[in-house]
């Protein structure tokens, strides 16, 4: 079976984890600090703060940026649920802006529409979906003009850049996930990047139970720490990230070239000013094409594929209970019905790629 995602772990990770195990310092410590320093340098921010997951990093980013009870935060409905849940964790309210049909990222025009119609928006939380950076020039300008906090969810875009600048360095704060399916992994884990000393200090304080000094707690915080074992894996993975991303881009290039004559699908859109890191290679099936039939055809050919995402966050049962309306974000809803992600990860062989192309060509839509 050709899987849709697979982490690549080697001797470097094994050796460094063993070193940490033997040191006895297995919880959060110096190895985490080293990983944070390396990651901040890679992204180009002053600070990085490791966390227990991408989700907890998001919660820390929002709360430390000042998102509070009943604040309204604009975000995309077309993402993993953790994006919007992190807003709810703060007691704040997600306000969904529909996506752009070509990029699947939040549509700046829709952000403007909301700003015209909804009072009291405090922040924008963007997601660089599938490894493709959002339209940061437009979004930055909108946030500046309207005095909005900008947070980036870079869980799928480690190393991606926009006009030569890495995602994770645009907003007041940004977050990454190191779940095993992402462009680099630590098992479970996440990280926050920021150049604001205030946000960094606040996030650190919240990560450690709100302690100002040992056993003196000034607020209700959390235990959102990363372990030295995870950071050891992260240090090795970060060194390999550029190589992984290059392989993803090459795999994507191969698929682009060989699938371009199939008139029943739309290939990923790659704007000129971005460095796409292809967390996913997501195609859109044209009207009338049987998606389930294609999934079954690929499965028979031992090729994994997946629908990211089968519904918008606003359509999730829990969000429906909160009162979000189905049939309210047509571009996202249409994408949910027509997208399919094919394997593009760096573990694919040339033979795997050929199998994917052949199976796609054989399919009768």
Ligand X SMILES: *Cc1c(COP(=O)(O)O)cnc(C)c1O
The residue ranges that bind ligand X (CB under 6 A) are 53-55, 79-80, 82-83, 127, 153, 155-156, 177, 179, 190
DSSP letter assigned to residue 262? -
3-class state of residue 351 by DSSP: helix
Q: Would you say 254 or 341 has its CB closer to ligand X?
A: 341
Distance in Å, CB of 145 to ligand X, minimum: 26
Q: Would you say 160 or 294 has its CB closer to ligand X?
A: 160
Q: Would you say 127 or 348 has its CB closer to ligand X?
A: 127
Q: Would you say 55 or 169 has its CB closer to ligand X?
A: 55
Distance in Å, CB of 355 to ligand X, minimum: 26
Q: Would you say 54 or 297 has its CB closer to ligand X?
A: 54
Helices and strands counted in the chain (H then E): 12, 15
Distance in Å, CB of 170 to ligand X, minimum: 16
Q: Whole-angstrom Cα distance, residue 306 to residue 310?
A: 9
Distance in Å, CB of 80 to ligand X, minimum: 4
Residue nearest to ligand X (CB): 54
Distance in Å, CB of 341 to ligand X, minimum: 12
Per the CB < 8 A criterion, the answer to whether 38 and 238 are in contact is yes
3-class state of residue 46 by DSSP: coil
Q: Is the dihedral of CA 317, 319, 320, 321 positive or negative?
A: positive
Q: Whole-angstrom Cα distance, residue 142 to residue 125?
A: 13
Q: Is 154 left (phi over 0), alpha (psi -120 to 50) or beta?
A: alpha
Q: How far apart are the first and last CA of the chain?
A: 23
Distance in Å, CB of 212 to ligand X, minimum: 27
Q: Would you say 189 or 346 has its CB closer to ligand X?
A: 189
Distance in Å, CB of 57 to ligand X, minimum: 8
Q: Would you say 59 or 297 has its CB closer to ligand X?
A: 59
| Residues whose CB is less than 8 angstroms from the CB of residue 121 and which lie 6 or more positions away in sequence, other chains included | 72, 73, 74, 95, 114, 115, 146, 148
Distance in Å, CB of 191 to ligand X, minimum: 10
| Short-list 290, 172, 187, CA closest to 234 | 187
Q: What residue ranges in the chain does DSSP mark as E strands?
A: 47-51, 72-75, 93-96, 121-127, 149-153, 161-162, 165-166, 173-177, 190-194, 211-213, 216-217, 265-266, 274-275, 281-285, 339-342
Q: Would you say 75 or 353 has its CB closer to ligand X?
A: 75
């Amino acid at each position: 079976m050709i899987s849709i995602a697979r982490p690549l772990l080697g001797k470097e990770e094994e050796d460094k984890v063993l070193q940490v195990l033997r040191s006895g310092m297995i919880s959060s410590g110096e190895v985490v600090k080293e990983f944070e320093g390396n990651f901040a340098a890679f992204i180009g921010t002053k600070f990085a703060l490791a966390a227990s997951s991408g989700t907890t990093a998001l919660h820390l980013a929002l709360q430390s940026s000042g998102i509070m009870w009943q604040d309204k935060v604009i975000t995309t409905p077309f993402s993993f649920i953790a994006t919007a849940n992190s807003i709810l964790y703060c007691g704040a309210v997600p306000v969904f802006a529909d996506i752009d049909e070509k990029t699947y990222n939040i549509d700046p025009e829709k952000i403007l529409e909301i700003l015209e119609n909804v009072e009291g928006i405090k922040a924008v939380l963007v997601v660089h979906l599938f490894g493709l950076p959002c339209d940061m020039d437009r979004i930055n300008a909108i946030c500046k003009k309207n005095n909005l906090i900008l947070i980036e969810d870079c869980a799928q875009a480690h190393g991606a850049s926009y006009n030569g600048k890495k995602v994770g360095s645009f907003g007041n704060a940004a977050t990454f996930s190191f779940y095993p399916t992402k462009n680099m992994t630590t098992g479970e884990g996440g990280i926050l990047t920021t150049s604001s000393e205030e946000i960094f200090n606040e996030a650190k304080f919240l990560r450690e139970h709100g302690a100002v000094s040992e056993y003196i707690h000034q607020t209700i915080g959390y235990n959102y720490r990363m372990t030295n074992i995870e950071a050891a894996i992260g240090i090795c993975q970060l060194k390999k990230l550029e190589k992984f991303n290059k392989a993803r881009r090459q795999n994507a290039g191969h698929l682009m070239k060989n699938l371009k004559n199939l008139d029943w699908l739309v290939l990923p859109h790659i704007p000129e000013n971005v460095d796409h890191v292809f967390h996913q290679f997501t195609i859109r099936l044209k009207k009338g094409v049987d998606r389930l039939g294609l999934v079954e055809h690929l499965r028979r050919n031992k090729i994994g594929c997946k629908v990211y995402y089968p519904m918008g966050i606003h359509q999730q049962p829990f969000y429906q209970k909160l009162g979000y309306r189905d049939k309210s974000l047509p571009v996202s809803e249409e994408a949910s019905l027509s997208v399919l992600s094919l394997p593009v990860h760096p573990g694919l062989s040339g033979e795997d790629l050929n199998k994917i192309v052949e199976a796609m060509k054989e399919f009768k839509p």
